[in-house]
């Protein structure tokens, strides 16, 4: 809906975004028609499998209605399994979804594994004032135990998968402050889902005054 120009009918993702005072406008490259839209921040809650993203998404959505919380796995389909493009089509899909939802006036919180280098280059990225990354991490020993204790249908017990998640978890802890943009860390090792959700809520309210 949002990408279709109301004047000429062209479908353009690459609209020019310009702020004028307190208002932001998107202009169609085909006919220069401009329309006002809400350019809100987008919050990304990421982390290795087993650090608590799904549980926290459920807890966070119950905790407040100030923002819209969504888990990115709900739209996953094998056709989006394109590591050769860094999953670009799937990232564009979620940014487009979040952009349209945020026009209701509420920022969106996306919970799912994603890195800045997968989202920042996207065409749809221009429609957000800022992407704020929050990564859940925990001790590797506990991460391994959590993955091994999952139901069998999750297929989280193979050593290759567990080692990959521990490696990603370690990378986040060692590189979050060096990354551009910075990735904010929340340690879930000894925190309850409610405690973690409260930390995320506080972090979001600090970035977006509701």
Does residue 24 contact residue 37 with C-beta atoms inside 8 Å? Answer: yes
pLDDT in tens, 79-89: 999 999 999 99
pLDDT in tens, 134-172: 999 999 999 999 999 998 888 888 999 999 999 999 999
Does residue 2 contact residue 103 with C-beta atoms inside 8 Å? Answer: yes
The whole-number pLDDT of residue 134 equals 97
The model's pTM: 0.93
The whole-number pLDDT of residue 209 equals 65
Does residue 43 contact residue 107 with C-beta atoms inside 8 Å? Answer: yes
> Rounded to whole angstroms, how far apart are CA atoms 205 and 210?
7
The whole-number pLDDT of residue 47 equals 97
> Rounded to whole angstroms, how far apart are CA atoms 10 and 155?
44
């Amino acid at each position: 809906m949002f990408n279709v120009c109301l004047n000429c009918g062209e479908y353009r993702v690459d609209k020019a975004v310009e702020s004028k005072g307190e208002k932001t406008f998107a202009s169609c490259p085909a006919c220069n028609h401009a329309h006002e839209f809400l350019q809100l921040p987008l919050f990304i809650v990421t982390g290795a499998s087993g650090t608590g993203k799904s549980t926290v998404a459920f807890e966070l959505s119950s905790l407040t209605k100030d923002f819209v919380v969504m888990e990115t796995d709900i739209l996953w389909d094998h056709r989006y399994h394109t590591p050769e493009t860094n999953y670009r089509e799937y990232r564009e899909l979620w940014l487009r979804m979040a952009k349209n939802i945020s026009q209701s006036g509420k920022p969106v919180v996306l919970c799912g594994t994603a890195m800045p280098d997968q989202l920042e280059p996207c065409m749809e990225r221009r429609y957000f004032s800022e992407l704020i990354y929050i990564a859940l991490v925990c001790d590797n020993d506990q991460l391994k135990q959590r993955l091994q204790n999952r139901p069998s249908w999750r297929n989280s017990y193979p050593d290759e998968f567990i080692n990959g998640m521990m490696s990603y978890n370690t990378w986040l802890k060692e590189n979050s402050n060096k990354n551009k943009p910075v990735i904010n860390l929340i340690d879930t090792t000894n925190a309850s889902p409610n405690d973690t959700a409260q930390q995320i809520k506080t972090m979001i309210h600090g970035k977006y005054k509701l």
